[in-house]
Structure 1
Amino acid sequence: MDKSKVDYSVYLVTDSTPAILGTKDLVRVVEAAVRGGVSIVQYRDKHSDRQTAVQTARKLLEVTRRFGVPLLVNDRVDVAVEVGCEGVHIGQDDMAYEEARKLLGPDKIIGVTASSVDEALAACKAGADYLGLGTVYATPTKKDTKSIIGPSGIRSILQALSSAGHASIPTVCIGGINARNATAVLLESSAAPQKSLDGIAVVSALVAADDPAAAARDLLAKVVTGRVPDVLRAVAEATPLSHNMTNLVVQNFAANVALAVGASPIMANYAEEAADLAKLGGALVINMGTVTPDGLKNHIQAIQAYNAAGGPVVLDPVGAGATSIRRSAVQTLLSSGKFTIIKGNEREIHTISNTSSAIVQRGVDSSSTLSIPQRAALAKSVSRSTGGGAVVVLTGKTDIVSDGVRTLRIDNGHEYLGRVTGTGCTLGTTLSAMVAAFRGKKSPLVAAVAGLVMFEIAAERAGVRDDVRGPGTFVPAFLDELSALREETVRGDVKWLAGAKVEAVEVEEE
């Protein structure tokens, strides 16, 4: 497993004691939690004999490997070595980092607990792959807690890490975290834009839950929501380039939206510029609103330039199912390179799925015929079908976002968005800004949700303003509200986020 691609969003730490696990089977609990959205598992068992620990770790590894989730062993490095799992987590009183690294080798993950600035800096200097920070709040699952540091203590450590040049080290916090406080902890701990938490670690919130899968989905939604301000602040800090190869109808609108969210737009359809632009740290938007043979060639060349530079690419297959020309064009683009985000309405996403032959689209028609579970399954399926694991954003009254593993719904927005030309196209521009600025966090799913939440809540706020009487007055108000949300977030006012309607969706395995 590539250590640089590990997702720390929802980190499960197991507990096998009767007080927390009860009479449930630990392996089944972990499997349900992973199915619900847990992204990394730590097997913690300080009391079982070695043989029992090895047997349990092997059973857990079989589950986590099936779902592509890393398994770490707490403290017991010998157990981790024997079962061949992805790594270990060690505390301040456990084996020294240097000794653990000798036993495990360079490719395994080693996480280190830190409850102070000095401990965190020392762990980074030693070479820790990630840090577990805390304890945040008092908890009955850990009796040897040195200190309760709260969100303010987490924030102090994050600030120190940033100042010392360790902003890229992933961090999670642990101690009394649950669905009720997860979002607040993330918001209060953030030292953004320089450094924020990459996730939360929980024990009883999942192990003791009656339905671990549902509890994991709830936590996932809370974590993603809590990271939205980090993305918006990253955009404001970086002012990333949004390179739009888009249709003529929306160029001006898209450029203004890019400026409102904090990006730097360029409308450049000539692919010879792409190689140079791709080096500037931004993202590319390919919008199929205007399809021509020359345009298609330019798109392919630009996609390949951004792929070569490691830059994000957003595909907006506008009207993909309307004509045979467009259906052919989208398949050509999909086979020409990798995409970070694919955004479209239900019919457009259907067109690029394996069931596209039965779908006929009328223009850029955005009508929906599928239920929410069906739309979620479609988005997940299309994401999995893309070799590069693109995040799929399926737009509509309810927006669906899936990275092929985790699937969320966003229920914000306003009807005026559907009565103005180009709002869907400008959402692509917004997403490009988010994914470009947040690329170092390696979480395009979080970036996509952040862009959607900002876009849809700005529309809600604009739609109820006294000066808005219809679609014509909505557009300037919408631009104002996008800009206002950016400014509020930068200065630390994130009360608006309370209106975000984000939920994780259960999608049956194929």
Structure 2
Amino acid sequence: MNVSPRPPLPQGPYLLCDDSIRPELPLVDKAGRLLEGGARVIQLRMKHAPPREALAAARAVVALCRRAGAVCLINDRVDLALLSDAHGVHVGDEDLPPEAARELLGPGRYVGVTARGTEGAKAARAAGADYVGVGPLFGTTTKVVAAPVLGLEAFRRVVADSPLPVVGIGGVGLSNIASVAATGAHGAAVVSDALLAQDIAERVRQLAAAFDSARGTGL
């Protein structure tokens, strides 16, 4: 029985609002365009913003997401998540341990964890996580990942065996998001394919339509 005070993370595209892609476009503008396209989950990733700028951006993006009824997660930074009233955090291999993130955030916010397989998903659940981002699914140039490409078949097995909802990460875009959805994945993280699109909002709509059409079909 689900006794979590947190509702399940919305299914579908999981959009990253990243300060390293199109840095000339302010983060709040990127978030606004993602939300215009119907984004239901946004992860705010700020690797280059100075602390005060990062806090201001986090507060602005969280406010936009809350008005739109979307979930906003902060990458890595539990302090920024608390100060901006974000819905939660996503922590990776070298970030704050998920147990510590849960301790600081309490029971009412999301904690997502990067995992490389089923054992990582089980450990994440034991640590109090709500979902896992599993990958890299495909080759990606957005960030350097010290892990081999998983591929769809291995990913499908992780989805089937994971005790937590699984979000596919790494190299996901319009050309392959349907194949990720067909594995039964809860979501698919998209970064550059959305933010580099000429019309960001329209690309988000296309991604959502592709994911929804193939969700759990097993194709």
Asked if 2 retains the 8 angstrom alpha-carbon contact of 1:10 and 1:37, the reply is no
Q: From 198, 208, 219, give the equivalent of 1:210.
A: 198
Q: Using the TM superposition, give the Cα deviation of residue 228 of structure 1 relative to its aligned residue in structure 2, in angstroms.
A: 5.5
Contact 1:58 1:83 in 2 (8 A): yes
TM-score with structure 2 setting the length: 0.92
Question: Partner of 2:90 in structure 1?
Answer: 89
CA distance in 1 between partners of 2:190 and 2:154 (Å): 18
* 2:137 pairs with 1:142: no
2:168 maps to 173
Aligned to 1:11: 14
Residue 134 (structure 2) pairs with residue 133 (structure 1): yes
Compute the displacement of 1:22 (Å).
4.4
Amino acid at match of 2:95: D
State whether residues 57 and 83 of structure 1, in contact with CA within 8 Å, keep that contact through their aligned partners in structure 2: yes
Look up the SS of the partner of 2:129 in the other structure. Answer: coil
Deviation at 1:25, TM superposition (A): 2.5
Match runs of 1:74-113 below 5 Å: 74-113=75-114
- Note if contact 1:10-1:220 (Cα within 8 Å) is conserved in structure 2: yes
1:503 aligns with none
Deviations 1:471-510 (Å, cap 9, x if unpaired)? xxxxxxxxxxxxxxxxxxxxx6x5xxxxxxxxxxxxxxxx
Structure 2 counterpart of 1:386: none
- 1:209 aligned counterpart, secondary structure: coil
Separation in 2, partners of 1:216, 1:64: 15
Decide which moves more: 133-142 or 146-155: 146-155
Q: How does 1:282-361 map to 2 (within 5 A)?
A: none
Shift of residue 38, structure 1, vs aligned partner: 1.2
| Secondary structure, aligned partner of 2:188 | strand
What whole-Å deviation, never above 9, does each CA across 1:204-240 have from its counterpart, x for those lacking one? 01111111110000001000011162xxxxxxxxxxx
Q: 1:22–1:208: 8 Å Cα contact kept in structure 2?
A: no
Q: CA deviation at 1:5?
A: 4.1
Gaps of 5+ in 2: none
Note the C-alpha offset of 1:37: 2.0
Q: Which amino acid is 2:39 matched to?
A: V
Q: CA deviation at 1:50?
A: 1.6
Contact 1:136-1:154 at 8 Å conserved across structures: yes
Structure 1 residue runs without a partner (length 5+): 191-195, 230-491, 495-510
- Evaluate the alpha carbon distance shift between residue 146 and residue 126 of structure 1 in structure 2; reply closer, same or farther with a 3 A threshold: same
String of CA shifts for 1:377-396, please: whole Å, max 9, x gaps: xxxxxxxxxxxxxxxxxxxx
Instruction: Please report the TM-score for the alignment, with normalisation by the length of structure 1.
Output: 0.41
Aligned partner letter, 1:7 = P
Q: Which amino acid aligns with 2:202?
A: A
Give the deviation of 1:159 after TM superposition: 2.8
Judged with a 3 Å threshold, the aligned counterparts in structure 2 of structure 1 residues 118 and 70 are, in CA distance, closer, same or farther, namely same
In structure 2, how many angstroms separate the alpha carbons of the residues matched to 1:219 and 1:145? 27
- Which residue does 2:121 correspond to in 1? 120
Q: Distance in 1 between matches of 2:46 and 2:214?
A: 30
Aligned twin of 2:62: 61
8 Å Cα contact 2:42-2:72 kept in structure 1: yes
Separation (CA, whole Å) in 2 of partners of 1:228 and 1:104: 32
Higher relative contact order (CA 8 A, sep 6+): 2
Match runs of 1:257-268 below 5 Å:
none
CA contact (8 A) 2:181 2:212 kept: no
1:197 aligns with 2:185: yes
1:14 deviates by: 1.9
Partners of 1:174 and 1:145 in 2: CA distance = 14
RMSD over aligned Cα atoms: 1.6
Letter in 1 for 2:10: D
Q: Distance in 2 between matches of 1:8 and 1:55?
A: 28
Q: Percent identity?
A: 35
Query: What one-letter code is carried by the residue in structure 2 that aligns with 1:221?
Result: A
Whether the 8 Å contact between 2:73 and 2:89 is mirrored in structure 1 is: yes
Give the drift of 1:23: 2.1
Q: Distance in 2 between matches of 1:111 and 1:228?
A: 22
Once residues 170 and 15 of structure 2 are traced to their aligned partners in structure 1, the CA distance between those partners, rounded to angstroms, is 12
Any conservation in 2 of the 1:39–1:69 contact (CA below 8 Å)?
A: yes
Task: Label 1:228 to 1:99 Cα distance change in 2 as closer, same or farther (>3 A).
Answer: closer
